[in-house]
Structure 1
Amino acid sequence: MWYLQASPCDKGEKMLMTLYSFLLCWLSLRIEANPGLKVRITQKGLDYGRKIGMELLKEAVLKETFPSWSGQERFLIAKVNYDISRIRIDAVDFPETSASFIPGTGISLSVAHASATISADWRMNTWLLSKDQGRMTVYISGLFIEVIFKVSRDSTGHLSVLLHDCQLHINSVKVKLNGGSSWIYTFLSGYLEKPIHSKLDKNLCLKISYKIQMMEAQLRRHDVVRQIDGFTQIDYSLVSSPAVFSSHMNLDLKGTVYPVGNHTDPPFVPAPFFLPNEVDSMLYVGISSYFLKSASLAYYRAGAFNITISEELATTFNLNTNLFKYFIPEIALRYKTACPVLLKLTATSPPAVILDIDRCILEITSYVEVFAVLPNSTTQCIFTGNLTASTRANLTIIKQKLIISVLLKRFHFSLLHFTSGFSEQISPVEKFLSYTLQNVVVPVINDKLGKEFPLPNLAHTTLMGPKIKINQGHLVISTDVHYKHEEEEDEGLHSQS
């Protein structure tokens, strides 16, 4: 039988090729990592953004300042040198605007039949008429402009917005000169229209490109890691470039919660999930169980689930040894003078987060210690044990934050140690724990959870009528948004004060 035997060199090359293929596969998996959060902007959202954007553009244009410029035109046998200064836009109108998604590219914004009125100082110098000056008004009409923005992800996970194309057409530029001492400037007005038209044709798209570059630089300065509180931070970086379709644009965010100062990824990865095929709301935010699990792990690592309940925190009743007379009377009898009670819960593992159809479950495991605080400030252990509690989580959105409040459904307690001299009956201990968990521990937990999880949002916007739908393995928030002008925000601050 004839056969070919590979040389040691061939074997080495095959090994290198195998290693190279493995690295490529590994890198592709890392590049196409599943997101922990998804954001969808719909055509409805884009139209609202266009409306607000055009209002802001009008405000910005009317405040814009422009550099002076000069030129020279030939009028019959004379050369006219002119200077245009103190240029300002007095009025602008955008009667027809539209915005649309360009699949695979980004966003198109177009303005049709726009008009503007510009005023400036003029100064002219010619050997025939010497010098003269005055004010001028420029009327621009029939302006059409279409700008296409390309959206992508840069190497640091920031959103990148670049100018992909700019088309411009101006139907008419009319110039009216005021002031001056000669009738000839009426004729010169027509000669100024050409350079102004040319100036606009040449510089308007360049000006837009410059503004987009400034916006791009501002986006890069935005920190994609946002602080939640003293314990945790959220990574909102993009894991891939935005996916642009004809009706919407999807952004995939990392959505990992870390302890402050420790950006070690959790030992689990996000599973793929999909937003519903809906575009009725302006904005959709998909939150995976990975996001909630990473938050649970981060808070656990930061020690946020270790809770000590003292008499001061038990606002609804006195947490002291007299309380035991309703559950374990022999404990209450032992302490002739009521002593404050300390209840310590130390999480033994991160709370498990389970997202099922229309429900969210948190399962918490803790080591429980109950102490009596004696008059000399020392503590005496009453009992210890292991606690497993199952809670139903209610999810609401208040002031741009996902609020989680828990309701105790059931728990299991195993007694590890009981103070000598007392009967080790589990039932009275469980009754005491049930009462204390419901009335003290759960309110403390809800107070902590009520301050957490800021949602991804645009500056100066509030969510309008958000709805939460819990699915298997993820939840979806559908909402409209409202943009607050600075005046509205100032009024809101004054009303609060």
Structure 2
Amino acid sequence: MCLSFSVQAFSFTCTSKLLPCSQLKMRLQFWLLLVALTTLTSAINPGVKVKLTQKGLEYGRQIGIASIQQKLQTIKLPDVSGSQKINPLGKVSYSFTNMHIINVALPQSAVSLEPGAGVKLSIGGAFMGLKGNWKVKYLRFIKDSGSFDLNVSGLSITATIAIKSDETGRPTVNGDNCAASVGSASIKFHGGASWLYNLFKNFIDKALRNALEKKICPLVTDAIADVNPYLKTLNVLAKVDKYAEIQYSMVSSPVISATSVDLNLKGEFYNVGKHQEPPFTPAVFSLPSQNDNMLYIGLSSYTAHSAGFVYTTAGALSLYVTDDMIPASSPIRLNTQTFGAFVPQIAKSFPGLMMKLLVTAVKSPEPTFESNNATVRATGTVTAYAIQANGTLSPLFVLNMDGSVSAQLFVSGTRLAGSVSLNKMDLTLGTSYVGDFQVKSLDTIFQMVLKVIIIPKLNAELATGYPLPTIGKMKLVNTQLQLMKDYMLIGTDVQFSG
């Protein structure tokens, strides 16, 4: 969407004595710009809503904790050296080198929602084990060395995961307010004189705990940031076929409530390579407060309506029907003999010729979603031609067609698919080149054309479906679809692989 706004086009006569006219004009221009931008922002309603529940966050926690554990196992503590005055030995110099993690356990963790802030991650009761080497020197010439084990327990970590929208309309996360503390540490030395290192054991414990605490939060923050490459795979512009693509970019920042993370997506079909807005806008709708599934996706009737607009604009809702498309067993044939039985003028003026029908949508199909019911109203024309011996098409008549179909919708993999069945069809005469006739007499023929040719071809296309908003190698499981007032609701759990 492009907005062009020029405050220079505003003009007025200034007679103010309270402020200089230049300042008054500047303030007025700023106010007008603010009003315009506010109006634009408030007018963007989403076509698709996505809700991530506490159950979904719990699944994410399981994946995230595994990632954090792997990160913590990479900790490399810097070498520690210094000196300590110890009576009666005097100054004792020491160094701790080659310190590395050998195991990490994060048995307790939880995620909770903080409205307006993000997702709070809490880790408690964690512990880790380290190994390293030590050396000491005292009385100027006495040296000793060995190895040590450090066991850290009571480790706690807290961090807030902020969720925002990036410049492409995809969600992005980052870690804020991270804090880490080590409850206790026990160090066990191997080799050398035990009486010596026991003298400064407590001092070394504290130095190593401090070094460890400084290493933890940057790694936790990195683990959180590692989610962003996966979020980058959100199909914000998903290709459907050669005619259409659907945009799933976010139209506003994520909303964090006490029970869910809510995303508002564009949810609009476009012609491939041409983003033309339809002559209608999304209606406001709200998802119910369900939380049995990890994820809920609400797709409004606006999304389906925009699809109809795209395919109508592209000329894709147009089909020539010829006799070879009709089953051989059918007594009804597309020729002037069959039609002449209902409209004698056709057989008289064009005897013994085959015919062709052109079925075309003249306006965008209009879907209506009600509780447990989806219908689509379609308006089109049927143009009948006689095929001359030289291939020339001679127009016979044009009928206006107004009909409706019932839609059955289902989720197949990560795509929304469906099928339709005919409810009713009304025909009226638009133009006749063979004189007036009773259109009602042709109902049987066109009912057959719709049921045997048009609708099966449409259902073959609908069966392939169109992509739902997904991330990476995301699989939908335990999926259910409900039709609600003005939107459809998909409740699902998810699994990630790879």
1:37 and 2:48 correspond: yes
CA distance in 1, matches of 2:328, 2:39: 53
Paired residues of 2:61 and 2:110 also in contact (CA < 8 A): yes
Matching residue within 34, 42, 46 for 2:57? 46
Tell me the CA shift for residue 364 of structure 1. 1.3
Paired residues of 2:144 and 2:193 also in contact (CA < 8 A): no
Paired residues of 1:232 and 1:258 also in contact (CA < 8 A): yes
Tell me the CA shift for residue 106 of structure 1. 0.8
Equivalent position of 2:246 in the other structure:
234
Which structure 1 residue ranges, 5 or more long, are not aligned? 1-5, 487-497
Tell me the CA shift for residue 444 of structure 1. 0.7
1:164 and 2:167 correspond: no
Tell me the CA shift for residue 235 of structure 1. 1.9
Report the more deviating stretch, 104-113 or 287-296.
287-296
CA distance in 1, matches of 2:336, 2:134: 95
Tell me the CA shift for residue 270 of structure 1. 1.6
Judged with a 3 Å threshold, the aligned counterparts in structure 2 of structure 1 residues 144 and 346 are, in CA distance, closer, same or farther, namely same
Matching residue within 487, 491, 495 for 1:474? 487
Equivalent position of 1:143 in the other structure:
155
1:28 and 2:38 correspond: yes
TM-score normalised by length of structure 1: 0.80
Residues 49-88 of structure 1 show CA distances to partners (whole Å, capped at 9, x for unaligned) of 2234334545x448x6455732314365342344316x45
Q: Secondary structure at the match of 1:397?
A: strand
1:273 and 2:285 correspond: yes
CA distance in 2, matches of 1:55, 1:88: 16
Tell me the CA shift for residue 463 of structure 1. 2.8
Residues 136-164 of structure 1 show CA distances to partners (whole Å, capped at 9, x for unaligned) of 65433221111111223345433232222
Equivalent position of 1:490 in the other structure:
none
CA distance in 2, matches of 1:316, 1:21: 71
Tell me the CA shift for residue 296 of structure 1. 1.6
Equivalent position of 2:9 in the other structure:
none
Paired residues of 1:324 and 1:432 also in contact (CA < 8 A): no
Residues 9-408 of structure 1 mapped to structure 2, 5 A cutoff: 9-10=15-16, 20-32=30-42, 33-58=44-69, 60-61=70-71, 65-66=74-75, 69-74=78-83, 77-84=91-98, 87=100, 89=102, 91-118=103-130, 122=133, 137-175=149-187, 182-183=192-193, 187=197, 190=201, 193-216=205-228, 219=231, 224-310=236-322, 321=333, 329=341, 342-371=356-385, 381=395, 383-408=397-422
Aligned length: 469
CA distance in 1, matches of 2:454, 2:480: 29
Paired residues of 1:142 and 1:172 also in contact (CA < 8 A): yes
CA distance in 1, matches of 2:388, 2:380: 25
Report the more deviating stretch, 181-190 or 138-147.
181-190
One-letter amino acid matched to 2:114 = I
Which structure 2 residue ranges, 5 or more long, are not aligned? 1-11
Q: Secondary structure at the match of 1:436?
A: helix
Paired residues of 1:372 and 1:379 also in contact (CA < 8 A): yes
Paired residues of 1:110 and 1:146 also in contact (CA < 8 A): yes
Tell me the CA shift for residue 353 of structure 1. 1.7
One-letter amino acid matched to 1:291 = T
Identity %: 25
TM-score normalised by length of structure 2: 0.80
Paired residues of 1:316 and 1:439 also in contact (CA < 8 A): no
One-letter amino acid matched to 1:435 = M
Paired residues of 1:316 and 1:440 also in contact (CA < 8 A): no
Equivalent position of 1:3 in the other structure:
none
Paired residues of 1:177 and 1:186 also in contact (CA < 8 A): no
